[in-house]
Amino acid sequence: MSKKTFKLSEISNFLDGKLVGSSSLKISEISSLKDATKESVSFFYNKKFLKDLKNTSAGAILVSKDFKDYCNTNYIVVSNVHAAYAKLTQLFFDDKRKNLSHDQSHKFSENKDIQIGKNVFIGENVKLGKGVRINSGCFIGDYSIIGNNTYLHPNVCIYPLTVIGRNNIIHANSVIGSDGLGFAKKNDSWEKIEHLGHVELKDDVEIGAACTIDRASLGVTLIDKGVKLDNQVHIAHNCSIGKNTMIGAKTAIAGSTIIGDDCLIGGGCGIVDNIKVENNVRINPMTYLTKSIKKSGIYSGGSIVLEHAKWLKHITIQKKQFDDWYREN
């Protein structure tokens, strides 16, 4: 799919911002501060990314007046950076993705290397490898790629631009590539952040029934080789799940969190956004993880059932012990 390109002056005018720098610079993408190039516009609205702001290669940055002096490149000053970023995603979003596609499943009906069940919809410019089997009721969005010998159970939904490797199994009613929970507060309403990225599943991945894996807001949500997900697991936008990691049922992982290789995460866990879990970590069921884990090992966080007053006392002691441990490690 072709990229949209805008002059920096056009972007500044669209956002009602104040441009400092080259008005004629051509911008073809929105990127994070870390991934940005000279053709990218990026954004800064959280102090914990100040180091990335100072070191970015972005052609331009959306920034508030309080942090403009940290920019080493062109910048656009806006009053609400998060809302401006959300609005900008709408400018770069390909409107064609909102149009109804045309079913191309008939193009694969005579291919002896591919099996397609009844009521399957396959969008435009889709690539299917040898030995792919797609059960009844599946949807494959435009520009998606499915590798050799991958098996889709009934009613799987694959959103556009998804990349699926070889020898994968995706069980019934799973959704790969839907938008994440991306909105920016603007006055008394929410501004939608269009998700411009995609999802990539490497080889030998198995996805349980009714799982949801969100497309990246920018870049990629990555499920690496050999990952196994139980039923009803949720992976939010821009997460990365490392090689051969296994995740139990009803665990939810919030956006931009990185899980290392060879991890085992029990069922019913909640993992917050923007943290990192080291390789070879085991997290026992019903754990609520709020901080990064920097050392391999076994971790537990589930609480026993008590009367509420006793539970409050127990959890206060437990939190203090965890804070002491975290400072030491």
User: In terms of C-beta distances under 8 Å and separation of at least 24 residues, what long-range contacts does 293-300 make, across chains too?
Assistant: 294/329, 295/329
Q: Which residues contact 160 (CB under 8 A, 6 or more apart)?
A: 97, 123, 141, 142, 143, 144, 177
Q: Are the C-beta atoms of residues 161 and 147 closer than 8 Å to each other?
A: no
Long-range Cβ contacts of 282-290 (<8 Å, 24+ apart): 285/248
Contacts of 308 (CB under 8 A, 6+ apart): none
How is residue 2 annotated by DSSP?
A: P
With contact defined as beta carbons under 8 Å apart, do 172 and 192 qualify? no
Split at pLDDT 50, 70, 90, the class of 323 is confident
Q: Is the pLDDT of residue 162 over 70?
A: yes
* Per-residue pLDDT at 303 exceeds 70: no
pLDDT tens digits for 34-72? 999 999 999 998 888 889 998 999 999 999 999 988 898
Confidence of residue 314 (pLDDT cuts 50, 70, 90): confident
Q: Would you call 195 a catalytic residue per the annotation?
A: no
Q: How many Cβ atoms are within 10 Å of 264's Cβ, its own excluded?
A: 16
- Who's near 105: CB < 8 A, 6+ residues apart? 116, 120, 121, 122
The structural domains of the chain, ordered by start, are 6-92 (3.40.1390.10), 105-299 (2.160.10.10)
pLDDT digits (tens, 9 = 90+) for 233-252: 999 999 999 999 999 999 99
Here the tokens at position 110 are: 């005579």
Q: Average per-residue pLDDT in the chain?
A: 92
**For residue 304, is pLDDT > 70?**
no
321 confidence band (pLDDT: 50, 70, 90): confident
CA–CA distance, 206 with 58 (Å, rounded to integer): 37
**Which is the catalytic residue, given 82, 153, 198, 237?**
237
CA dist 23 and 222 (Å) reads 35
pTM confidence score: 0.90
Record the tokens describing residue 237, joined without a space: 């936008």
pLDDT class for 167, splitting at 50, 70, 90?
Answer: very high
Length of the chain: 329
Residue 194 has a pLDDT of 94
Confidence of residue 318 (pLDDT cuts 50, 70, 90): confident
What is the average pLDDT across 191-207?
Answer: 96
Please give the pLDDT value at position 1: 60
